[in-house]
Chain A
């Protein structure tokens, strides 16, 4: 998983049926080098500016979604309160 910051909502009206009803957000990953902006399925009710955890594993995302094979990989799985150490 990666630490990231939520940039805001990623609204979409025209989308693949498997993505219907999913809350999608833009998030910027913190890691230098592999950083970048991703679109993630938000499962932790995150808001703009929140620090979050992003997971990128299509199999887990699909099983969780429960709609069979689906074009989904990136999932926002946690709202981070703090990082120690």
Chain B
């Protein structure tokens, strides 16, 4: 599992079977200090993350397991929203 920053959402009405109604996020992989560590990618979302959220995402075959069934064609899924401890302490 890795950290990511949500850049926005991807709207797709025509999808492969099994992906109907699923949410897709455009995200950037980041390190623990929110520094980008790779290029943009798209992940399925099961926690309702929005733009600007720091998230935990999982890649590979486990991404499909996060959707509750393993025959879904996804290779990345956002599975948690990270808390912003640092910013809360600063009152921001």
Give the interface of A toward B (CB within 8 A): 1-3, 30-34, 43-45, 53, 55-57, 59-61, 63-64, 75-85
Contact = CB atoms under 8 A, between A and B. Distances in A.
Interface centre among B14, B17, B51 (most CB of A within 10 A): B14
B10 A53 contact: yes
Interface of A is mostly: mixed
Nearest to A35: B39
B41 A57 contact: no
Name the 4 nearest CB pairs between A and B, nearest first: A85-B8, A43-B16, A57-B75, A78-B12
> What interface size band does chain B fall in?
20 to 34
B42 A1 contact: yes
A84 B12 CA distance: 11
B75 A56 contact: yes
Contact of B11 (A30, A60, A80): A80
Interface in B16-72: 16-19, 24, 26, 39-44, 51, 60-61, 63-64, 70-72
Given A1-B24, A79-B12, A81-B11, 4 more contacts: A33-B39, A60-B61, A83-B8, A83-B11
B80 interface: no
B7 A85 contact: yes
Contact of B61 (A59, A75, A76): A59
